[in-house]
C-alpha cells in the first residue's frame, strides 16, 4: 500500500446517496458510500465509465470519509420525466415546447447543506499524481455532484500527506467502517450505523456489486472515541480507512 494520502473537502446545497433497497420514498445514506467516492475521483480525473474499479479495490486503495456538517434531511415530492424511449425525450427539444409524455411523482429524501472531507490513497501513483494536479489547480474533467447529477458540488483541496499508522485509544474524526467496533459511548452522541456499497467490479460491458460494509458515524459530525482500534494520522486528522 502507498504511504501517502490526498485530502480534499466537498460540499453542496443538497445531496442524495440512494439506499438501493428503498423505492418511494427514496431514502439517502448520510455519507457518500465508498463506491460514490470512487466515482467522484473518477469524475475529477475524467476516467471512462467502468474502467477504474480495480484501482479502488480492497488491496489497491484506502478511503476514509469525515462528516463536516450535521445531518439535516428533507423529504420532497419530485416529478420525474421519462426521457428514454418516448416522445418526451429532451434531446433535440426546442425551448418552450411542452413535454406530454408520462410523468411520475416520487418522494425523495435529500441532505441539506452537506459537507465532507475525503481521504483518498491509491496504489496507482500515476492516478495519485494526476488527482493532486487536478485538485491543486481547481479543475475537474466532469462536473462534480453529490449522488444525483443535479446536486452539483464544489471542492477545496487540503493537501497530500503521509499516512502514520497507529493502534489503540483515539478520538476519530472519520466515519468508522466495520461491525465489531470498540466505541466509548458518549451520552450526547447520536450514532448512526448504515450498511453501504463498498466495492464494484467490471462485468463484461457493465458492473456488479462486489461487497458492502457497515459504516458508523455521529450525525452531528463530532469525532467518535474508540478504545482499541487501528487508525491513521493524516495531516493531523485521526481517521480509519476502509
Question: What single-letter DSSP state applies at residue 9?
Answer: E
Are 141 and 44 contacting, i.e. CB atoms less than 8 angstroms apart? yes
What confidence tens digit (pLDDT) does each residue in 228-241 have? Answer: 999 999 999 999 99
What confidence tens digit (pLDDT) does each residue in 90-147 have? Answer: 555 555 555 556 677 888 999 999 999 999 999 999 999 999 999 999 999 999 999 9
Q: Across the chain, what does the average pLDDT equal?
A: 91
The answer, as to whether pTM is greater than 0.85, is yes
pLDDT of the residue at 71: 96
CA-CA distance, 54 to 229, in Å (whole number)?
27
Q: Please, which pLDDT band fits residue 78 given cuts at 50, 70 and 90?
A: confident
User: If you average pLDDT over residues 19-33, what whole number do you get?
Assistant: 89
What confidence tens digit (pLDDT) does each residue in 131-186 have? Answer: 999 999 999 999 999 999 999 999 999 999 999 999 999 999 999 999 989 999 99
Q: In what order do the strands lie in the sheet with 14-15?
A: 14-15, 103-112, 73-81
**Helix 125-137 vs helix 34-45: crossing angle, to nearest 10:** 70
Q: How many residues does the chain have?
A: 242
- Domains annotated on the chain, with CATH: 4-80+103-239 (3.30.70.3120)
CA-CA distance, 138 to 178, in Å (whole number)?
33
User: If you average pLDDT over residues 11-15, what whole number do you get?
Assistant: 97
Three-state DSSP class for 199?
A: coil
CA proximity to 210, closest of 2, 18, 38, 66: 38
CA-CA distance, 145 to 47, in Å (whole number)?
15
Amino acid at each position: 500500500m502507498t504511504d501517502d494520502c490526498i485530502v480534499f473537502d466537498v460540499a453542496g446545497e443538497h445531496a442524495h446517496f440512494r439506499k438501493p433497497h428503498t423505492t418511494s420514498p427514496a431514502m439517502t445514506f448520510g455519507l457518500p458510500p465508498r463506491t460514490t467516492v470512487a466515482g467522484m475521483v473518477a469524475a475529477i480525473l475524467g476516467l471512462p465509465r467502468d474502467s477504474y474499479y480495480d484501482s479502488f479495490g480492497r488491496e489497491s486503495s484506502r478511503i476514509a470519509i469525515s462528516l463536516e456538517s450535521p445531518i439535516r434531511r428533507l423529504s420532497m415530492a419530485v416529478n420525474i420525466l421519462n426521457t428514454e424511449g418516448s416522445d418526451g425525450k429532451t434531446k433535440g427539444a426546442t425551448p418552450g415546447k411542452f413535454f406530454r409524455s408520462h410523468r411520475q411523482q416520487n418522494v425523495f429524501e435529500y441532505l441539506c447543506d452537506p459537507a465532507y472531507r475525503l481521504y483518498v490513497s491509491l496504489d496507482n501513483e500515476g492516478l495519485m499524481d494526476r488527482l493532486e494536479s487536478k485538485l491543486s489547480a481547481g479543475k475537474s474533467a466532469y462536473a462534480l455532484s453529490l449522488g444525483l447529477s443535479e446536486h452539483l458540488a464544489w471542492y477545496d483541496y487540503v493537501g497530500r500527506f503521509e499516512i502514520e499508522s497507529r493502534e489503540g485509544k483515539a478520538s476519530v474524526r472519520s466515519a468508522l467502517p466495520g461491525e465489531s467496533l470498540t466505541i466509548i459511548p458518549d451520552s450526547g452522541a447520536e450514532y448512526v450505523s448504515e450498511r453501504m456499497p463498498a466495492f464494484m467490479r467490471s462485468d463484461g460491458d457493465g458492473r456488479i456489486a462486489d461487497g458492502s460494509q457497515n459504516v458508523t458515524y455521529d450525525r452531528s459530525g463530532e469525532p467518535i472515541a474508540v478504545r482499541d482500534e487501528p487508525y491513521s494520522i493524516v495531516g493531523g486528522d485521526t481517521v480509519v480507512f476502509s
